[in-house]
Amino acid sequence: MFNWDYNITKNWKPKTEGQWLWYLERKINYDDWKGLKKRIIKKYFPKLKKRLDPGKREMLKIYFKKHV
């Protein structure tokens, strides 16, 4: 994923909850879904949803309702 405001190494993985929230927020809001796992997004969604673009938040809510 290329983004202009940070630079992370290719093999970097989030370890803390704060890192996961930051990482998922960036990936989802900038349409970089590659490598994201449903179970991880679902796990952090209650805290993550306030940080997401409203359209993407609604899309994920609908997705999780249909694909439990």
pLDDT single digits (tens) 15-60 = 999 999 999 999 999 998 988 999 999 999 999 999 999 999 999 9
How much is the pLDDT for 48?
96
Per-residue pLDDT at 4 exceeds 60: no
pTM of structure: 0.84
- Cα(53)–Cα(50) distance, rounded to whole angstroms? 8
Per-residue pLDDT at 67 exceeds 90: no
**How many CB atoms are closer than 10 A to CB 48?**
19
How much is the pLDDT for 11?
86
**How many CB atoms are closer than 10 A to CB 8?**
12
How much is the pLDDT for 41?
96
Query: b or e along 27-46 (b: 16 or more beta carbons within 10 Å of the residue's beta carbon)?
Result: bbeeeeeeeeeeeebeebee
**How many CB atoms are closer than 10 A to CB 57?**
17
